[in-house]
Amino acid sequence: MDTGDTAWVLISTALVLFMTPGLALFYGGMVRSRHVLAMLMQNFAAMGLVAVLWALVGFTLAFGSFGDGGVIGNLEFLGLSGVGAEPGLELTIPFILFCAYQMTFAVITPALITGATADRMKFSAYLLFIGLWVLLVYSPVAHWVFAGGWLAALGALDFAGGAVVHINAGAAALAAVIVLGKRRGWRQDPMPPHSLPLTLLGTGILWFGWFGFNAGSALAANGIAAQALMNTFLAASAGLLGWLVVERLRSRHATTLGAASGAVAGLVAITPCAGFVGGLSPIVIGFVAGAVCFLAVSLKYRLGYDDALDVVGVHLVGGLVGALLLGLFADSSVNELAADGLLLGGGAGLLVDQIIASVVTLVYSFVVSFAIMKLLQVTIGVRVTEEEEETGLDLALHAENAYVYEPSAISELRPRATAGVPAGAPEAAPTPSVTTTS
């Protein structure tokens, strides 16, 4: 047991959990105002449902029979059996802490999918989908890569989840939107973000939490964690610049939404590489990811799939960019567990392994996710009615509104102000919650 390592992973676990509310704000700002609570609810619901499933069976499916080179874990940790306060799996931290840290990854991964299915998916169908998905898709893929399963045995590298988290979620998002169909009025009606300040706030929280996501994956307070932290910072910054450069060249504007999206693209791409590269490699990886993801987002219009908030364009494509560039830039001097990449004289072996791992993860996640969605479609249905979509998911599904306007109170203030009476006079003090619309 190492107290320094334990303290760092405790902090990292909290940081990664904080990313899910950050993701909720990031996505919530981009949807229309009548759907924002539904988006927040889906992300927060993942924190509840996935955590319980992880403790019951998800953790053992992912990390049981650690290092076996197989395809799924056994049931040795069912219901957290044998997962205690002493170190396990040759770690220097409590085994229960490792389980909790991995739980935060399991929570945010299906939450990423919500950006693609925004504004039109039933809440009940969403819960069933992510519950099944965590057990049938996330846990097996985590075993293949994080727990010494067959892809790890092959030689593929994934420091913090390029394949397990981002390619996995992005492929599932593509399958989900194909089954779900397009939003009502897509490409005919304007659907602008209702609150870009919320999106930027969410981006900042994600960026902050990502240090726990990547540097925490060293599972120790050591030099690899420090390198991963620096790589994360540089890649996010370069991703922001890469997106804005291409956006400026293509549309003559550099937007705040572009800055947020570019930073996230850089963060996604550096995730598999964070503890395996050094020097200026993260800048190249981040910049390429920002530029490529900007171009990838436009594919949904050409191919006709309604990925509402660009999960496929940013997470699937960004994850692929990072996984493949790792095959070029991996540096064994940074981490002895890594083979040198192609550009550092290591040959094409690692790059081939990265391609295999990426393709396998993409295909497996897409096929199983599509099957889950089709099963739900023919049983309980996956999509809200046109009337519910038009009303807004906040009111239709949750009986709430994110923003409550009081026009009667506003109109009451106007004649008093005209007569020179102070708006806050005691005899007719307005309700403190009065707001105005733009």
Q: Is 0.85 topped by the overall pTM? A: yes
Q: Are residues 283 and 423 both part of a single domain?
A: no
In a shared domain, residues 291 and 437: no
Task: Specify the pLDDT at position 404.
Answer: 86
Q: Per the domain annotation, does 79 fall within a domain?
A: yes
What mean pLDDT is reported for the chain?
A: 93
Handedness of CA 331, 332, 335, 338 (dihedral sign): positive
Q: Are residues 364 and 421 in the same domain?
A: no
Q: Is 404 contained in some domain?
A: no
In a domain, residue 399? The reply is: no
Whether 103 contacts 51, CB under 8 Å: yes
H or E element that contains 16: helix 3-28
Q: Are residues 188 and 244 in the same domain?
A: yes
Position 409 scores a pLDDT of 46
The pLDDT of residue 405 is 78
Same domain, 331 and 424: no
**Which tens digits make up the pLDDT trace of 57-77?**
999 999 999 999 999 999 999
How is residue 121 annotated by DSSP?
B
From residue 247, give the alpha-carbon distance in Å to each of 242, 250, 254, 284, 322. 9, 5, 6, 18, 21
Please give the pLDDT value at position 133. 98
Is 295 within 8 Å of 301 (Cβ atoms)?
no
pLDDT at site 88: 85
262 in Cβ contact with 295 (< 8 Å): no
CATH code, 85: 1.10.3430.10
pLDDT of residue 406: 65
Give the total number of structural domains in the chain. Answer: 2
360 and 426 co-located in one domain: no
The verdict on residue 380 lying in a domain is yes
421 shares a domain with 357:
no
One-character DSSP codes across 139-197: HHHHHHHTTS-HHHHHT---SS-IIIIIIHHHHHHHHHHHHH-PPTTTTTS----S-HH
Q: With respect to residue 351, please indicate whether it lies within any of the assigned structural domains.
A: yes
Give which of 138, 147, 40 is closest to 369, Cα–Cα. 138
What is the residue range of 420's domain?
A: 414-438
> Domain check: are 434 and 323 in the same one?
no
**Is 276 a member of any domain?**
yes
The segments of the chain whose pLDDT lies below 50 read 409-410, 412-413, 415-438
| Judgement on whether residues 299 and 427 belong to the same structural domain of the protein | no
286 in any annotated domain: yes
CA distance 177 to 179: 5
Both 217 and 358 in one domain: the answer is yes
Q: Is residue 296 situated within a structural domain?
A: yes
- Give yes or no: residues 98 and 223 share one domain: yes
pLDDT of residue 416: 42
Q: Are residues 433 and 344 in the same domain?
A: no
The pLDDT value recorded for residue 297 is 96
Q: What is the per-residue pLDDT for 426?
A: 43
pLDDT (0 to 100) of residue 254: 96
